[in-house]
Amino acid sequence: MTKENVWILSIAIAFAIGVVVIMKLNGGKFPSGGHKTQSTETVSDVETESMPIAEKVSNNPVLTEDFKKTFETTNALSVEKVVRTITESEDGGTNTKYESYLLSYLDLSNHTEQTMDYSNASVGEDFEVNKVIESDFISEYGFDYNQINGYELYERLLKESGIDGNLNKVTFDAKTYDMTGQEVYVLDQECSVIQKLLKKVDYDEIISSEVSYQITNINGVVMPEYFTAVVQYKAGTQIVTKNLFLQITLESANLGGTYELEE
In a domain, 9, yes or no: yes
Check pLDDT > 90 for residue 19: no
Question: 75 in helix, strand or coil?
Answer: coil
Whole-prediction pTM value? 0.78
Q: Is residue 261 part of a domain?
A: no
∠ CA 25-123-3, rounded to 5°: 100
Q: For the segment 82-97, what is each residue's pLDDT rounded down to a tens digit?
A: 999 999 998 889 999 9
pLDDT of residue 120: 86
* Residue 48, domain extent: 3-255
In-domain check, residue 11? yes
What is the H or E stretch that residue 23 is in?
Answer: helix 3-25
Span 9-30, average pLDDT: 54
Domain total for the chain?
A: 1
Contact 191, 203 (CB under 8 A): no
Distance CA 227, CA 244 (A): 8
Residue 263 domain-assigned?
A: no
- pLDDT at position 24 is 61
| Residue whose C-alpha is closest to residue 185's, from 170, 169, 197, 200 | 170
List the one residue out of 174, 134, 157, 145 whose CA is nearest residue 245.
157
Query: Residue 168 falls within a domain, yes or no?
Result: yes
In a domain, 260, yes or no: no
The per-residue pLDDT for range 29-57, each reduced to its tens digit, is 545 443 333 333 333 333 334 444 444 45
* Domain assignment present for 156: yes
Q: How many CA atoms lie within 13 A of 173 on its CB side?
A: 26
Q: What is the pLDDT of residue 22?
A: 57
Buried b (16+ CB within 10 A) or exposed e, 17-40: bbebbbbbbbeeebbbebebeebb
Residue 262 lies inside a defined structural domain of this protein: no
